[in-house]
Amino acid sequence: MRAHRLLSSTLRTQRRAFSASSSRLDRYGFIGLGQMGYQMAKNLQSKLSPSDSVCLFDINKDAMHRLAEDMRTSQAGGAVVEMAENVAEAAKEADTVITVLPEPSHVKGVYSEILKSDISTKPRVFIDSSTIDPSSSREVAKWIADAKQGQFVDAPMSGGVVGATAGTLTFMLGSPEELVPKIEPILLRMGKRVLHCGIQGTGLSAKLANNYLLAINNIATAEAMNLGIRWGLEPKTLANIINVSTGRCWPSEVNNPVKGVVETAPAGRDYAGGFGISLMKKDLKLAIVAAEEANAKLELGARARDVYEEAEKVESCKGRDFSVIYRFIGGKE
């Protein structure tokens, strides 16, 4: 605790020094320091000017203090770092608030708390990089607009923890056109590509449509590989044929579920790391909800959801990369 207090005091002193010497201070609030948010916040802070500040908050206090210490000791320069006691404090003085949260309920809870406790007179931008359903995102955007507290945009990302750590994420941005020049440079401090999808909510629509396709391609690839191998084909031979033919897809070419086909794929390390099966299950469920709201028919969605739910309950599949579906269907390992 003494070390935490000392770090907080040091950071506050550092901020005062910068504030006194700088003519402009861009303030950021960053809420949600899980596996993705932790690395995103770290990259953001390192690429900001010393005249800027980042105020961190997460319900996991250890993660928050650990990140602040990482920023202080591992970065040369970068923005001043602060730690907030609660959500409202993280957002109160910020010009830009970034949230990376697990579920729609968490996003609604955080923004409800901000609006209850924090009435600001300056224009702010709220960037939500959580993967939630578009209708929940639009609901929060309306709260922000009705309270005249700024503008809320959705910017879910692709690239996983590896991309978050390397700063190579792709962001799918749902935002008014006029805000893109302001938001894009912020996101590019945490990633390498920003794809403007249209108005608020469309970033999430794009992300969920993509992940719906990915979820089904993954099952189909596992089944096709298992089928060919049981017919006597060598795994690499079969994968090479698929990848120069019409069956080619990301699960067959990059994330092949059969050990030894792609050396860097999770299949080669007992399906450790990668995009967790629970996350794929979550995104698939969100896509199904969004499809129902849009009256879009999904013939394969319900069955794919059942496959991921059943697989996650199996001890040898639980907590592993979603390509472990190959093991779940009895693929030869």
* CA 293/CA 110 separation, integer angstroms: 24
* Structure tokens belonging to residue 62: 């250890």
Fill in the amino acid letter for 68. A
Fill in the amino acid letter for 204. L
Can you give the length of the chain in residues? 333
Specify which residues 193 forms β-bridges with: 170
Work out whether the CA dihedral 193, 282, 298, 175 comes out positive or negative.
negative
Residue 48 contacts residue 79 (beta carbons within 8 Å): yes
Active-site residue 318, yes or no? no
Q: Strand locations in the chain, DSSP E?
A: 27-31, 53-57, 80-83, 96-99, 125-128, 151-154, 157-158, 169-174, 191-198
Catalytic residue among 47, 92, 207, 281: 207
Residue 81 contacts residue 56 (beta carbons within 8 Å): yes
* CA 42/CA 30 separation, integer angstroms: 10
As a three-state string, the secondary structure of 190-246 is: CEEEEEEEECCCHHHHHHHHHHHHHHHHHHHHHHHHHHHHHCCCCHHHHHHHHHCCC
3-class DSSP state of 321: strand
Which among 23, 109, 15 has a CA at the least distance from the CA of 55?
15
Catalytic residues: 207
